[in-house]
Amino acid sequence: MNPLKIVHAACPLDCPDACSVQITVNTEGRATKIQGNPDHPVTRGFLCAKVTKYLDLVYSPDRLLVPMRRKSGIAKGPVPAGKHAEVFERISWDQALDTIAARFADISAAFGPESILPYSYAGNMAALGYGSMDRRFFSRLGASRLDRTICSAAGGEALMSVYGVKLGTDPEHFRHARTILAWGANILGTNVHLWPFVQEARQQGARLIVIDPYKTRTAQAADWYLPIRPGTDSALALGMMHVLIAENLYDADYVARFTHGFDQLRVRAEEYSPARVAELTGLGVEDIVRLAREYATAIPAAIRMNYGVQRGQNGGAAARAIAMLPCLTGAWKHLGGGLQLSTSGAFPFNKAALERPDLAQSSPIGRPGRIVNMSRLGHALTELNDPPVQAMLVYNSNPAAIAPNQNTVLRGLRRADLFTVVHEQFFTDTTDYADIVLPATTFFEHKDFEGAYGQYHLQISEQAIAPLGEARSNVTLFRQLAQRMGFTESCFLDTEDDMIDQALDVTKEDSPWVYGITRAQLEAEHSVRLKFPQEQNGGAFQPFISGEWFRTPSCKAEFYSEALAAQGFDPLPGYVPAEESRHSSLARRFPLELLARKGDNYMNSTFAALPGHRAMEAAHSGLLEMHPLDAAARGIVDGDAVEVFNERGKIPLRAKVSASVPAGVAASRLGWNKLTRDGQGVNTLTSETLTDLGGGPTFYSTLVEVRRARAGEEVSEE
Ligand X SMILES: Nc1nc2c(c(=O)[nH]1)N[C@H]1C(S)=C(S)[C@@H](COP(=O)(O)OP(=O)(O)OC[C@H]3O[C@@H](n4cnc5c(=O)[nH]c(N)nc54)[C@H](O)[C@@H]3O)O[C@H]1N2
Return the bridge partners of 624, or none. Answer: 655
Binding to ligand X (CB under 6 A) within 596-625 occurs at 596-600, 602-606
Pick the stretch among 104-112, 226-234, 245-253, 345-353 that binds ligand X (CB under 6 A).
226-234
Q: Nearest-CA neighbor of 606 among 14, 9, 2? A: 14
Residue 402 near ligand X by CB under 6 A: yes
Residue pair 414/382 in contact (Cβ under 8 Å)? The answer is: no
Residue 405 near ligand X by CB under 6 A: no
Residue pair 396/124 in contact (Cβ under 8 Å)? The answer is: yes
- Chain residues binding ligand SF4 by CB under 6 A are 11, 13, 15, 17-19, 47-48, 50-51, 192-193, 603
Contacts of residue 102, defined as CB under 8 A and 6 or more positions apart, other chains included, come to: none
Q: Nearest-CA neighbor of 294 among 204, 441, 181? A: 181
CB 121 to ligand SF4: min, Å: 15
Nearer Cβ to Mo ion (502/683): 683
H or E element, residue 96? helix 93-111
Asked if the bond preceding 387 is cis, omega within 30° of 0, the reply is yes
Map residue 361 onto helix, strand or coil.
helix
CA distance 21 to 11: 7
Residue ranges in 603-650 assigned as alpha helix (H): 611-617, 628-633
CB 58 to ligand SF4: min, Å: 14
Nearer Cβ to Mo ion (160/715): 160
Site map (CB under 6 A) of ligand X, residues 164-193, x = contact: -------------------xxxx--xx---
CA distance 143 to 41: 42
The one of ligand X, ligand SF4, Mo ion, none whose footprint includes residue 189, by CB under 5 to 8 A per kind, is ligand X
CA distance 653 to 706: 10
Nearer Cβ to ligand X (108/132): 132
Torsion of CA 282, 285, 286, 292, to 10 degrees: 90
Residue 401 near Mo ion by CB under 5 A: no
In Å, what is the CA distance from 681 to each residue of 32, 111, 423, 596, 698?
34, 33, 21, 10, 16
Residue 151 near ligand X by CB under 6 A: yes
Residue 134 near ligand X by CB under 6 A: no
CA distance 468 to 475: 16
CB 36 to Mo ion: min, Å: 22
The one of Mo ion, ligand X, ligand SF4, none whose footprint includes residue 19, by CB under 5 to 8 A per kind, is ligand SF4
CB 188 to ligand SF4: min, Å: 11
Residue pair 596/230 in contact (Cβ under 8 Å)? The answer is: no
Pick the stretch among 77-85, 572-580, 591-599, 614-622 that binds ligand X (CB under 6 A).
591-599
Pick the stretch among 123-131, 249-257, 534-542, 630-638 that binds ligand X (CB under 6 A).
123-131
Residue 312 near ligand X by CB under 6 A: yes
Site map (CB under 6 A) of ligand X, residues 546-585, x = contact: ----------------------------------------
Nearer Cβ to ligand X (419/699): 699
Q: Which residue is nearest to ligand X (CB)?
A: 308
Residue 393 near Mo ion by CB under 5 A: no
Residue 14 near ligand X by CB under 6 A: yes
The one of Mo ion, ligand X, ligand SF4, none whose footprint includes residue 478, by CB under 5 to 8 A per kind, is none
Rg (CA), the chain: 25
CA distance 76 to 317: 41
CB 603 to Mo ion: min, Å: 9
Angle 174-177-180 from CA coordinates, rounded to 5°: 80
Residue 596 near Mo ion by CB under 5 A: no
CB 452 to ligand SF4: min, Å: 8
Nearer Cβ to Mo ion (158/477): 158
Site map (CB under 5 A) of Mo ion, residues 128-167, x = contact: -----------------------x----------------
CB 192 to ligand SF4: min, Å: 5
Among 234, 259, 425, 463, binds ligand X (CB under 6 A): 425
Map residue 469 onto helix, strand or coil.
coil
Residue 682 near ligand X by CB under 6 A: yes
Residue 421 phi/psi, 5-degree rounding, is -115, 135
Contacts of residue 347, defined as CB under 8 A and 6 or more positions apart, other chains included, come to: 451, 452, 458, 511, 513, 514, 530
The one of ligand SF4, Mo ion, ligand X, none whose footprint includes residue 474, by CB under 5 to 8 A per kind, is ligand X
Among 21, 91, 122, 706, binds ligand X (CB under 6 A): 122
Residue 15 near Mo ion by CB under 5 A: no
The one of Mo ion, ligand X, ligand SF4, none whose footprint includes residue 194, by CB under 5 to 8 A per kind, is none
Nearer Cβ to ligand X (151/392): 151
Burial category of 249 from C-beta neighbours within 10 Å (exposed 0-12, middle 13-18, buried 19 and up): middle
Amino acid at 544: F
The one of Mo ion, ligand SF4, ligand X, none whose footprint includes residue 419, by CB under 5 to 8 A per kind, is none
Nearer Cβ to ligand X (241/514): 241
CB 610 to ligand SF4: min, Å: 14
Q: What is the 3-state secondary structure (H, E, C) of 182-249?
A: EECCCHHHHCHHHHHHHHHHHHCCCEEEEECCCCCHHHHCCCEEECCCCCCHHHHHHHHHHHHHHCCC
Contacts of residue 186, defined as CB under 8 A and 6 or more positions apart, other chains included, come to: 212, 214, 216, 217, 218, 306, 308, 600
CB 359 to ligand X: min, Å: 21
Pick the stretch among 117-125, 291-299, 515-523, 621-629 that binds ligand X (CB under 6 A).
117-125
Question: Terminus-to-terminus CA distance in the chain, angstroms?
Answer: 49
Nearer Cβ to Mo ion (151/240): 151
Among 36, 112, 113, 129, binds ligand X (CB under 6 A): 129
CB 575 to ligand SF4: min, Å: 33
Angle 289-294-300 from CA coordinates, rounded to 5°: 150
In Å, what is the CA distance from 3 to each residue of 6, 24, 26, 55?
10, 10, 7, 20
Cβ count within 10 A of residue 98: 13
Residues near ligand X (CB under 6 A): 14-15, 121-124, 129, 150-151, 183-186, 189-190, 211-214, 216, 228, 230-231, 233, 306-309, 312, 395-398, 402, 423-426, 428, 440, 474, 595-600, 602-606, 670, 682-683, 686, 699-700
Binding site for Mo ion (CB under 5 A): 151
